[in-house]
Amino acid sequence: MVNLPLVVKVQGFTTVDNPELVGLSSVILNALTEDIQNFVDTGKIAGAVGLIVKDGKIAYRQTFGFSSLENKVPMVENNIFRMASQTKIVTGFATYLLAEDGLIKLTDPVSKYIPSFANMKVLVQGNSGNRNDYTTTPVKNQITIEQLLNHTSGISYNFQNQPILFPLLKAANISDGLSTTSGTIGEMVNRLSKVPLAFEPGTDYLYGLNSDVLGYLIEVVSQKPFDQFLAERIFTPLEMDDTGFFVTKNKLNRLAVTYTPNANGNLEPIGEKTRELKPGLFIDEAYPYLTGDTYFSGGAGLVSTPNDFARFLQMLLNGGNLKSKDGQQMVKIANQETIETFLSIRPQDRFKDRPISVGYKYTNGFEVKENSEISTALSSVGSFRGGGLFGTNYFADPEKEMIGIIMSQVYPSIWELADTFETRAYQAEVIKEKMNK
């Protein structure tokens, strides 16, 4: 295991007027502002919120464009965004809290807590290429919690659009958590257990519904609804007041509209009606306020704000602690050892399958930088990052004590925006380092 010790500092947030005070170049940050504004001006995104925290202090916070193009509603810093896969790091962390409590071991078979996973099958494809040409064989080894955390279980997503598995997932009424979904996560997970796996657990990597299974496992072990567990153990103590699965009526005006390019390349709202924007990808805008109070997707269901999510990330950088918003109390969420293990890479963790993730490995619901020699990213070894389908992204660097969050709402997500944001943040820090020499 690559274990990454943290420098523990109990920090909350203050804001600095001059970013140079925390070692960031205002010139480079101004260039970042121009870069993000260009994404708005060219119609790639409707709007965004960008936030950079350095040494526990907010050094950069800017809003851009609109949360609603049609109504010309300006984006504000406390707009609420659909997190999609940015949910996964929270679910992964919640799993580690159960381990810290002594209620589970990460090496435990999932079937110990979800009995329907005791008889999983592996898909064996025939040679014809026909989607009906397949058989199944029993797994040699049970799926473990650890394999759910690093997506080596063999569980797929609908939107992976695999020729055989996608029809089977669709027939089982499996939701990817990105659209209005009836029923509960437990009902879905038990249906999922009847769908064959793409491969023998632990032998490969496939991005799939693993975090949704973890969410239900947390319900079973804690004997609490998943949303309640997250609220009690993470969101409420960290004062993440706008984070959860459900957007109440009094907050709907702050929920940013999600856009997608139409046939002419112009942004249009995705809308409340579920749409299949590519084979297997079913999404709509309405799930956080129509079924978010009953269906808790651990892989895609959360909504949050940049300010809220920064508090979660700062808690991780602090080794499990964070000051209250008023600065009067220190809140402890987890032990330092738990945090260090959570942010570390295990030998069985796999490389991500995207070119921009070269040098990173996937673990616990996010990717961690392992190798600087093959990565073009300016981040430190041990830095971690993730994002969501609708244009939310974050990075956190324990060595440099820096956090970056950029949130928009558009499908397809503009990866260039996330890359530009992260690169500029590190360029600003590097420039100051040179000035200090």
Task: Please identify, among 169, 202, 230, the residue that sits at the C-terminal boundary of a domain.
Answer: 230
Is 75 inside any structural domain? Answer: yes
Is 295 inside any structural domain? Answer: no
Question: Are 60 and 137 within one domain?
Answer: no
Question: Are 97 and 225 within one domain?
Answer: yes
Question: Are 59 and 153 within one domain?
Answer: no
Segments forming the whole domain that contains residue 188 = 91-230
Is 241 inside any structural domain? Answer: no
Question: Are 69 and 183 within one domain?
Answer: no
Is 272 inside any structural domain? Answer: no
Is 278 inside any structural domain? Answer: no
HEC string of the chain equals: CECCCCCCCCCCCEECCCHHHHCCCHHHHHHHHHHHHHHHHCCCCCEEEEEEEECCEEEEEEEEEEEECCCCEECCCCCEEECHHHHHHHHHHHHHHHHHCCCCCCCCEHHHCCHHHHHCEEEEECCCCCCCCEEEEECCCCCEHHHHHCCCCCCCCHHHCCCCHHHHHHHCCCCCCCCCCCCCHHHHHHHHCCCCECCCCCCCCCCCCHHHHHHHHHHHHHCCCHHHHHHHHHHCCCCCCCCECCCCHHHHHHECCCEEECCCCCEEECCCCCEEEECCEEECCCHHHHCCCCCCCCCCCCEECHHHHHHHHHHHHCCCEEECCCCCCEEECCCHHHHHHHCCECCCCEECCCHHHCCEEEECCEEEECCCCCCCCCCCCCCEEEEECCCEEEEEECCCCEEEEEECCECCCCHHHHHHHHHHHHHHHHHHHHHHC
Question: Are 138 and 72 within one domain?
Answer: no
Is 336 inside any structural domain? Answer: yes
CATH of residue 192's domain is: 3.40.710.10
Is 377 inside any structural domain? Answer: yes
Domain count of the chain?
A: 2
304-345 pLDDT, tens digit per residue, is 999 999 999 999 999 999 999 999 999 999 999 999 999 998
Question: Are 332 and 371 within one domain?
Answer: yes
Task: Please identify, among 230, 262, 295, the residue that sits at the C-terminal boundary of a domain.
Answer: 230
**In which band, very low, low, confident or very high, does the pLDDT at 356 lie, cut at 50, 70 and 90?**
low
Task: Please identify, among 212, 230, 248, the residue that sits at the C-terminal boundary of a domain.
Answer: 230
Is 262 inside any structural domain? Answer: no
Question: Are 336 and 419 within one domain?
Answer: yes
**In which band, very low, low, confident or very high, does the pLDDT at 113 lie, cut at 50, 70 and 90?**
very high
Question: Are 97 and 35 within one domain?
Answer: no
Over residues 266-282, the mean pLDDT reads: 96
Mean per-residue pLDDT over the chain, rounded = 93
pTM reported for the whole predicted model:
0.94
